[in-house]
Structure 1
Amino acid sequence: MTETIVADAPVTPEPPTPTLRQPRLPRWAPLGLAAGSVLLGVGIGAVAGLESRIQWGLIAALLYIVLTAVVGGAVEGKRQAKDRLATSLIWVSFILAVIPLASLIWETIARGVKVLDGFFLTHSMNGVITMDEGGGIYHALIGTLEQVAIATLIAAPIGLLTAIYLVEYGTGKLSKAVTFFVDVMTGVPSIVAGLFVLSFWIIILDFGYSGFAGAMALAILMMPIVVRSTEEMLKLVPNELREASLALGVPKWKTILKVVLPTAVGGITTGIMLAVARVAGESAPILLLVFGSAQINANPFEGAQSSLPYYIYEQWANGNAPSYDRAWAAALVLIAFVMILNLVARGIARWKAPKH
């Protein structure tokens, strides 16, 4: 019996199985690229003879964006490189925005704590020579609190009712006209509001300079902010809540009062606090209408009155070291005042938020 021997056929290698996993940069890569960019930026700035650290930082930021795109494209591919590039642009923009803010806060704290103490907060500038040390901001603090409180009492109800009308009732030409004028008022400079109150309240009606006159100008600046923020918050309330209340036979005004406003009270409060913070640092209307005073005047309806923005301007204009220290301390108090307002707004928003 004869055996037939068949030669083995050549084996064709199978193609490699494609994988969905692409090579990725390690987690420490962004920090490493940032550190390398900083070193390169410092080196380039030093070699080029650039004395400004801001220029060094801008060079480092540009290098970080370029290195992130190049390294990401070489390792992870073109698609992932685009994502890395967009992320690096966002981070660089965020850092560029935060650095001036942090520098401002640090500079204000470093310079303001020199004279900021209990005496500074509880005494006025009455009888204090500008070139001498001493004095305080008690009179300006009282003026700011009273003027901002009166402006809020004027602007908040009017702005709230206007926003309710625009969202719940406004249709036709009247609502369009109101919306147009609110948009115009949003861009009105503070000095224009001060001139309007000056011409009407003081020149035409012949009332004197007072904290109330300044409060009216601040209220004009607050109203469009309150209207816009409240309007957006009311639009976020689901229509299903309104329809359910109306289906139960509840009148529309009661639905707004009991359903819509409690649901949006957090955002409304935050908007009002932002408006207060916006006008708390205004100085132009105060210069025109309140006129400033070194004495304590707790009556906002009669006589000249000071405020923190006016006090800062006045002390800085004196042009001497003690006045500069007082101006920085007053600026620190004003920043703390605005910060407290924002914290209070957040607390009220969380307290009044609807419970599920």
Structure 2
Amino acid sequence: MTLKARYARDAIIQVGVVLMTLVVVIPLLIIIFYVVMNGFTALNLEFFTMELGSPARAMQGRPAGLRHSIIGTIVIDLVALAMALPFGLATGIMMSEYPEHPFAPVARLMVSTLNGMPAVLMGLLAYALVVKNTGGFSALAGSVALAFVMIPIISRTTESVLMVTPWSLREAGLSLGLARWRVTVSLVLPAARAGVVTGVLIAFARAAGEAAPLLLTSFGNNYFSMDLRAPMDSLPQRLYSLAISPYRQWHSMGWGGAIILLLFVIVTFLVGRVVISRMEKRMNA
């Protein structure tokens, strides 16, 4: 093959790669543009300071907002993360650092199964474990459902990141007489913390957009509530209810809520990138 033919083949491959990338990027940009164009008019002071209230308010054209949904999303997701983080990290460490343990293959199978399950099944599981045993829907049940969504993602990411950490690091710690668990906690995890944080953020962002588990657990609330034992609203399930409502005002608010949810995910990743870059600078210093 001549040099000219090689250059031509390389150019064709580059064009093909660019076109395939555009096939992925363009639909995302269209979605973002469509959401922003439809929801921008709904973003006003009342949107961030008022509650949705009863349908009568929408029928009368009175102002309403999604303050309770925004705060509820943050509360439910943070509680879910607090539940999922220790279990996800422990499971990932088990699968990576203790592969010879009899429970490691079982944990890997369970994590793979959970990771492939539809999110609505996580809601059914939380409904059976929490809602039926506590006597009603609650924000706590919603957090449990989202924790089940987060755990397999955190576990898989932790396992993958720890697996690519140099084994020489472990050997150095063991040669100094450190216990195996001490080597993992003091040497391996700090070396892999940037990747672990990335996995945690991916799990958090994934759970933040889930509506199906919350429809079966936290149920939703048209009014503000900070009681974890009572129904609490969240943006994903509120967007669903607004979309199927018969009120034009609520449809507009739904588009506004979609913008907030989109920004919530974007800001989560941006903050994560800043944290990760600072971690990497400290490690390289």
**TM-score, length of structure 2 as denominator length:** 0.93
- Equivalents in 1 of 2:134, 2:65: separation in Å? 32
Letter in 2 for 1:279: A
- Equivalents in 1 of 2:62, 2:27: separation in Å? 30
Identity across the alignment (%): 31
Is residue 2:91 matched to residue 1:162?
yes
More relative contact order in 1 or in 2 (CA 8 Å, sep 6+)?
2
- Equivalents in 2 of 1:193, 1:130: separation in Å? 33
User: C-alpha deviations, 1:279-304, integer Å up to 9, x for none?
Assistant: 1011111111111111101112x221
Is residue 2:201 matched to residue 1:273?
yes
**Offset at residue 100 of structure 1 (A):** 0.6
Structure with greater helix share of residues: 2
Q: Aligned ranges for residues 317-336 of structure 1 at < 5 Å?
A: 317-336=244-263
- The partner residue of 2:236 within 283, 286, 309 is 309
Q: Which has the larger radius of gyration?
A: 1
Is residue 2:22 matched to residue 1:82?
no
Is residue 2:74 matched to residue 1:145?
yes
User: C-alpha deviations, 1:238-296, integer Å up to 9, x for none?
Assistant: 11111112212222222212211111111101100100000101111111111111110
User: C-alpha deviations, 1:47-84, integer Å up to 9, x for none?
Assistant: xxxxxxxxxxxxxxxxxxxxxxxxxxxxx33x333322
SS of 2:222's partner is: coil
SS of 2:244's partner is: helix
- The partner residue of 1:112 within 30, 39, 43 is 39
- Unmatched 5+ stretches in structure 2: none
Query: Is the CA contact 2:158–2:196 (under 8 Å) kept in the aligned structure 1?
Result: yes
Q: Which residue of 2 aligns with 1:217?
A: 145
- Equivalents in 2 of 1:350, 1:88: separation in Å? 32
Q: Which residue of 1 aligns with 2:19?
A: 92
Structure 1 runs of 4+ aligned residues shifted over 6 Å read: none
Query: Is the CA contact 2:131–2:138 (under 8 Å) kept in the aligned structure 1?
Result: no
Letter in 2 for 1:232: S
- Equivalents in 1 of 2:164, 2:13: separation in Å? 30
User: C-alpha deviations, 1:132-183, integer Å up to 9, x for none?
Assistant: 2521111111211111011101111101011111111231542111111111
SS of 1:306's partner is: coil
Q: Which residue of 2 aligns with 1:121?
A: 48
- Equivalents in 1 of 2:108, 2:79: separation in Å? 25
**Offset at residue 324 of structure 1 (A):** 1.5
User: C-alpha deviations, 1:161-215, integer Å up to 9, x for none?
Assistant: 1111111123154211111111111011111111122123222x24311111011
- Equivalents in 2 of 1:282, 1:309: separation in Å? 6
- Equivalents in 2 of 1:130, 1:211: separation in Å? 25
**Offset at residue 223 of structure 1 (A):** 0.5
- Aligned residue pairs total 281
- Equivalents in 2 of 1:285, 1:311: separation in Å? 13
Q: Supply the RMSD in Å over aligned alpha carbons.
A: 1.7
Q: Which residue of 2 aligns with 1:68?
A: none
Q: Which residue of 1 aligns with 2:187?
A: 259
- The partner residue of 2:126 within 197, 216, 228 is 197
Is residue 2:177 matched to residue 1:249?
yes
Letter in 2 for 1:202: V
User: C-alpha deviations, 1:92-141, integer Å up to 9, x for none?
Assistant: 11111111111111111111110212321121112562342521111111
Letter in 2 for 1:321: R
- Unmatched 5+ stretches in structure 1: 1-20, 23-75
Query: Is the CA contact 1:262–1:352 (under 8 Å) kept in the aligned structure 2?
Result: no
Higher mean alpha-carbon deviation, 318-327 vs 220-229, is at 318-327
